[in-house]
Amino acid sequence: MVNWRKILQWLFVIFVIYIIIEVIRNILGGSLGFEEVVITLLVANLGYTFHLHSKILDINSKLSEHLGWHRGKKNHNNQHNI
């Protein structure tokens, strides 16, 4: 089975490397115009935002499970005390 998330992450890394190269080329004399470099940086920022969003959702679900476990354990102990 193809892991699309890993493929997209590697494509994003390659895109960021390309952006870094283009920024360096622009500083040294330019290949892309300033507007193109800014647009590519905005696209990279958007991609990184989506990546962080998925990570935050993963952490949020793990935290909810963990807190739910504590609530269940606390309620379980209260039932034994009655």
> Hey, what amino acid is at 38?
V
Nearest to 16 by CA among 49, 55, 43: 43
- What is the domain range of residue 70? 4-81
Number of domains in the chain: 1
In this predicted model, what pLDDT tens digit does every residue of 7-37 receive, in sequence order? 888 888 888 888 888 888 878 886 777 788 7
Nearest to 15 by CA among 34, 33, 35, 42: 42
In this predicted model, what pLDDT tens digit does every residue of 29-61 receive, in sequence order? 867 777 887 888 888 888 888 878 878 888 878
* Segment holding 79, helix H or strand E: helix 34-81
Residue 63 pLDDT exceeds 60: yes
Place of tokens 């390659």: 14
Residue 71 pLDDT exceeds 80: no
